[in-house]
């Protein structure tokens, strides 16, 4: 039998590799929809479909490059709760600038679930405020931002 914590961390690592290489397919493959994120400004973001995430992908990439981003590192990952079909991971992530310095470190909580036999992230909450804010999502009220 597989270990849910290991499965969730492996899913996260695949997502992060996709994020850092700007591989939209790899990123979406590690999400479950609807996908929710509580932003650093306490705004609930909802992406109902993979197409919603993909619609914002190029804009997000441009914003990341504009701020000098080259990659995101995970400085710390720990499972704080786990069960057979759900794992909560707390992490510290760092945005790395093209000159090699860390320029934005933040805490984040990701909730992974096993749905249809596949592990993926369903909900994220972070203290990040930057390039990824306000990019093509629906609020809980159903309006696009």
Whichever domain contains 114, its CATH number is 3.10.450.50
User: Could you tell me if residue 25 is inside a domain?
Assistant: yes
Domain coverage including residue 114: 4-126
User: Could you tell me if residue 141 is inside a domain?
Assistant: no
User: Could you tell me if residue 137 is inside a domain?
Assistant: no
Instruction: Assess contact for 30 and 15: CB atoms under 8 A.
Output: yes
Reply yes or no on whether the pLDDT at 131 is more than 80.
Answer: no
pLDDT-derived band at 40, boundaries 50, 70, 90:
confident
Backbone torsions φ then ψ of 39, nearest 5 degrees: -75, 175
User: Could you tell me if residue 66 is inside a domain?
Assistant: yes
The 3-state DSSP class for residue 126 equals: strand
Residues 105, 45: Cα–Cα separation, whole Å:
21
142 burial via Cβ count (<10 Å: 0-12, 13-18, 19+): exposed
User: Could you tell me if residue 80 is inside a domain?
Assistant: yes
User: Could you tell me if residue 34 is inside a domain?
Assistant: yes
Determine the pLDDT at residue 143.
46
Determine the pLDDT at residue 1.
57
Instruction: Assess contact for 86 and 113: CB atoms under 8 A.
Output: yes
């Amino acid at each position: 039998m597989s270990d849910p914590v290991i499965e969730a961390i492996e899913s996260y690592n695949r997502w992060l590799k996709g994020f850092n290489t700007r591989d939209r397919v790899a990123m979406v493959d590690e999400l479950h929809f609807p996908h929710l994120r509580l932003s650093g400004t306490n705004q609930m973001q909802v992406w109902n479909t993979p197409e919603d995430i993909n619609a914002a992908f190029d804009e997000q990439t441009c914003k990341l490059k504009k701020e000098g981003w080259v990659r995101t590192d995970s400085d710390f990952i720990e499972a704080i709760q786990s069960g057979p079909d759900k794992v909560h991971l707390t992490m510290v992530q760092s945005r790395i600038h093209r000159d090699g310095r860390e320029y934005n470190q933040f805490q984040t909580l990701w909730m992974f679930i096993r749905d249809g036999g596949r592990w993926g992230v369903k909900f994220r909450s972070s203290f990040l405020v930057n390039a990824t804010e306000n990019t093509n999502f629906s609020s809980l009220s159903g309006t696009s931002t």
